[in-house]
Amino acid sequence: MDKAKIRLSPKEAELVSNADWILTKNGILQKAKFLLEDLQSSQLDFLQSHIKKLPAEVTNIPPKISKGENYKGLPYLVLDHPRYFEGQNHLAIRSMFWWGNFFSITLQLSGMYKKIYESKIETAFPYLKKEKFSVCISTGQWEHHFETNNYLPLKDMNADTFKKHSDSKDFIKLAKMYPLQHWDDAGYLLMTSFSGVIKLLTS
């Protein structure tokens, strides 16, 4: 093996001898988990008044918080609620913390759920545009970054262009991003977007 590959840079040598930054990272991730747990509780309370208007097979599944260390090399936490992934039929709202990048909320619909809700989504274009959502333009639905090969902001398109993007794939994926600088308000912001999406689906 090339020894250059295993030698530490000066910055790496400094960090490997310092446990504080790992402990700080772990503390931040724990706080992010607490934030999503509080959000989950608020979501459950809100859904009580809308639960009968959503598919029973979806609302019967409890929320789930997952943690990972390597989405594009960085740690993340996601809260999926509601969450239904069965074959090609998906209905999910995902709240995400991605280290070094953002908080986000995503509505993901595919299969029969796209067919059920796509007319409501298209009708809600003015609301989604005003709320600064973006639409997934990728052919795959499992990437979460906001680079221009994955998402385009609705503020830059009209209703016809939005409909063409929605019609071109077997899924609809809409997302809104919040900078990490909004940490103190992130729970409120994510909950506001969540309630807006649920009202859209159940209107």
- Kindly list the domain boundaries of the chain, sorted by start residue: 3-202
Distance CA 188, CA 168 (A): 33
CATH tag for 3-202 (out of 3.30.930, 3.30.2310, 3.40.50, 1.10.1740): 3.30.930
Q: Within 13 Å, how many C-alpha atoms sit on residue 105's CB side?
A: 25
Work out the percent of the chain whose per-residue pLDDT is above 70.
99
Q: Provide the pLDDT confidence category of residue 83 given band limits of 50, 70 and 90.
A: very high
Calculate mean pLDDT across residues 160-165.
93
Least reliable range by pLDDT among 4-8, 25-29, 79-83: 4-8
Does 94 score more than 70 pLDDT? yes
**Taking all residues of the chain, what is their mean pLDDT, rounded to a whole number?**
95
> What is the pLDDT at residue 1?
55
pTM: 0.93
Does 2 score more than 80 pLDDT? no
- pLDDT tens figures, 103-162: 999 999 999 999 999 999 999 999 999 999 999 999 999 999 999 999 999 999 999 999
Is residue 32 within 8 A of residue 77, CB to CB? The reply is yes
Q: Provide the pLDDT confidence category of residue 202 given band limits of 50, 70 and 90.
A: very high
Calculate mean pLDDT across residues 15-35.
96
> What is the pLDDT at residue 5?
81
